[in-house]
Amino acid sequence: MPTYQVGDLITGGLAWTRPVRLGGVQIRRNFGLRSDLVTMPLPEVSGTAAVPSTVDLYVNSTRRSSHEVPAGPFSISDIPAVSGDATARLVVRDALGRETVTETPLFASADLLAPGLIDYSAEIGFARRNYGLESFNYDERPFGMASARYGLTDRLTLEAHAEAGLDFLNGGAGAAFALGTLGIGTAAVAGSRYGDESGFLV
């Protein structure tokens, strides 16, 4: 799912980086090319059936699926994507019509990547100056940037970012992680150097 762009562009990045306007070349992963691909980890619910039963799954009071399960433990991992917090209700119904109902809180976020997925963006070119004031004004010094995200587990996505130019270097790493049903936490640390000056962020 790579996308290539040549000309004026805006660099990719992460929540803790700053996009830059460049005249140059970009390659990035574009999940929008695959409308069937769900990039975030999907929640999973499980339960136990004493006898062969039918399991109806409701998410926020809307029926999403129905499954025939054998006696014993079962799990449902193909829950339709929901963003934010939700409540899953499992209705287990046996052949005699007896029902067992359980409710489980769910949380899903596009800030997390499914395990094994990689999202990236890389650019090289010349920084655009005086955007909106001058139509052809670029810095003469070349500049490069790259960002990447990797879904390590359902609950942890790793991030990295690097920038380089003449007498300039900037890089950092971060992570997005699930906090149960409370939400998503993020953390990042980065450092930079330009000539004799340096800086950092946490």
- What does the pLDDT look like over 127-148, one tens digit per residue? 999 988 988 899 999 999 999 9
DSSP string, 56-104: EEEETTEEEEEEEE-SEEEEE--PPP--EEEEEEEEEEETT--EEEEEE
Listed in sequence order, the DSSP H helices in the chain are none
Averaged pLDDT in 10-residue chunks for the chain of 202 residues: 93 90 94 81 78 84 82 77 72 83 79 90 94 89 95 93 94 92 89 94 94
Whole-model pTM?
A: 0.76
pLDDT given at position 201: 94
Give all strands of the β-sheet with 84-94 in edge-to-edge order: 62-69, 53-59, 84-94, 99-108
Q: Residue 83: its pLDDT value, please? A: 66
| pLDDT, tens digit (0-9, with 9 covering 90-100), for 102-120 | 887 777 777 888 899 999 9
In the chain, CATH 2.60.40.3110 sits at: 45-108
What is the chain's alpha carbon radius of gyration, rounded to the nearest angstrom?
23
CA distance 172 to 151: 17
Q: Which CATH class is domain 45-108?
A: mainly beta
Beta bridge partners of 138: 128
Instruction: Collect all residues with Cβ–Cβ distance below 8 Å to 70 and sequence separation of at least 6.
Output: 49, 52
Amino acid residing at 182 = L
In 109-181, which ranges are E strands? 118-128, 138-153, 156-165, 168-178
**DSSP at 112:** S
Q: What is the pLDDT of residue 84?
A: 66
CB 136 within 8 A of CB 21: no
Q: Return d(Cα 58, Cα 71) in angstroms, integer.
A: 21
